[in-house]
Amino acid sequence: MKILVIFSLLLFLTAFAGDTRADQVIERLQEYLRIDTVNPPGNEHRGVKYLGKLLEEAGIPYETAESAPGRGNIWARLEGGDEPALVLLHHIDVVPFDETYWDYPALSGQIDEGYIYGRGAIDTKGLGMAQLQAFIALKESGKPLNRDVIYMAIADEEAGGLFGAGWLLENRPEIFEGVGFLLNEGGSGTMLHEDAAFNIEVTQKVPLWLRLTATDVPGHGSSPRVTSSVKRILRAGQRISDTKFDRRVIPEVQTYFAALAPYQEGERQQMMADISRALDNEGFMLALQLDEPWRAALLGNTCSLTTLEGSNKINVVPPTAALELDCRLLPDQNPDEFVEKLITIINDDQIEITRILSFTPASSETDTPLFEAIEATVSMNFENAVIIPSVSTGFTDSHFFRDNGIVSYGFAPFFFLPGERTGVHGNNERISIANLERGVKVLTDLLFVFATD
């Protein structure tokens, strides 16, 4: 009955939601993309200044805070009733880029053939601008709200969030009093055969970033020794790279693969229907890793070798050499036990392991009013839409809020065609104008469903 009511409300609101300032969001995203907030160093205060200007133009009060010089955060609140508040979250910082491989300058906001190019177009300035336009539309509607709705843009997500989400929760906890729900990056739409499918991120693998440092006797490059720091670190890296970590399936991943199964063919359909029974099928697992490595990575702990450091001079054998690992653990994996396993694999007492980054596991249930509202809104905007609770191989700031009891979903209201997401953390990051305009409408619809009576 409640779903029918929601659908009726959506039909009633269609005329209003159609006016979502779609033309305005294009220009605003272009301007936002031109602001340099590459992390490191971040300089998110530049984005805060711009977002603050837009909020002022809309007549919405806001607050800001810097966790460190230049590390800006901003939030604004529309006050409503006593239902648990909703946060719309995105991060201002973006990852670095090598412009040599871009078709247009990475901070240009260039438009070409219906796409807006720029670092952060998808991750996550595009999401942030769609959220802002929907937030302003909610305010300008004048409709009474059943809950507070908070727009929030934060620093440092790309480096772990300690100057953004983590800092705000620790130093400004009053912001989150009464908050029950949060929407963040981590899920979006794609095609499964002829159906629109939206992945809604409910949990994620846990990052465990490690630095391995090998120590040995230094010397001249002309006189090789039997052992050296570089030889030790290379051997350790090779041992880790050759290790096949045990495969296993957590319940959220089992549900995710089962939801995908009807859209597969032949053996793949059978395997995904009960993925736990496919773990020992080496042929299938290899094919999955080749075709969809992001899905294969959900079936166990992983470690990627990412950085190597040795001597800064070609003829000097250094006293130390280092290797950094990006390990991602299943949510139920004890990180201490995993590090002990790595120590056994490395088998070298001249190598020290230091933790760079580690989070606690957390997940959000799907039996909530917000998840129900997302389902209804997506179905209204996309014919024959399929909703799939998903697990992310990457991490977002959502884990901070889940740790504090706030139900958090990864939901970006964008529908990506094959190949449209390849620029995220890569070259030629871009978002289509059609996606951006439609995304504003979807989010506006969602806010009216969830936050108004």
Q: What is the pLDDT of residue 21?
A: 59
Query: What are the residues facing 88 on neighbouring strands?
Result: 151, 183
Enter the pTM of the model.
0.89
What gap in Å lies between CA 247 and CA 333, rounded to an integer?
12
What gap in Å lies between CA 7 and CA 386, rounded to an integer?
16
For the domain bounded by 2-186+396-451, which CATH number is listed?
3.40.630.10
Contact 37, 47 (CB under 8 A): yes
DSSP helix/strand/coil, 368: coil
Q: What is the pLDDT of residue 16?
A: 37
Q: Which among 312, 308, 303, 310 is positioned nearest to 323, based on CA atoms?
A: 308
Q: What is the pLDDT of residue 191?
A: 78
Q: Which among 443, 452, 381, 390 is positioned nearest to 183, based on CA atoms?
A: 443
What's the pLDDT tens digit per position in 380-411?
998 888 999 999 998 999 999 999 999 999 99
Q: What is the pLDDT of residue 9?
A: 37
232-267 CB burial, b ≥16 within 10 A, e <16: bbbbbbeebeeeebeeebbebbebbbebbeebbeee
Q: What tokens appear for 89 in the block?
A: 């979250």
Question: In this structure, what DSSP letter does residue 250 have?
Answer: -
Contact 58, 140 (CB under 8 A): yes
Q: Would you list the DSSP string of 173-192?
A: GGGGTTEEEEEESS--EEEE
Domain range summary for the chain, segments of one domain joined by +: 2-186+396-451, 246-300
Residue 124, preceding peptide bond in cis (omega within 30° of 0):
yes
Contact 74, 153 (CB under 8 A): yes
Q: What is the pLDDT along the chain (453 residues), one digit of tens a residue?
A: 334 333 433 443 343 334 445 679 999 999 999 999 999 999 999 999 999 999 999 999 999 999 999 999 999 999 999 999 999 999 999 999 999 999 999 999 999 999 999 999 999 999 999 999 999 999 999 999 999 999 999 999 999 999 999 999 999 999 999 999 999 999 998 877 777 899 999 999 999 999 999 999 999 999 999 999 999 999 999 999 999 999 999 999 999 999 999 989 899 999 999 999 999 999 999 999 999 999 999 999 999 999 999 999 999 999 999 999 999 999 999 999 999 999 999 999 999 999 999 988 889 999 999 999 999 999 999 888 899 999 999 899 999 999 999 999 999 999 998 788 889 999 999 999 999 999 999 999 999 999 998
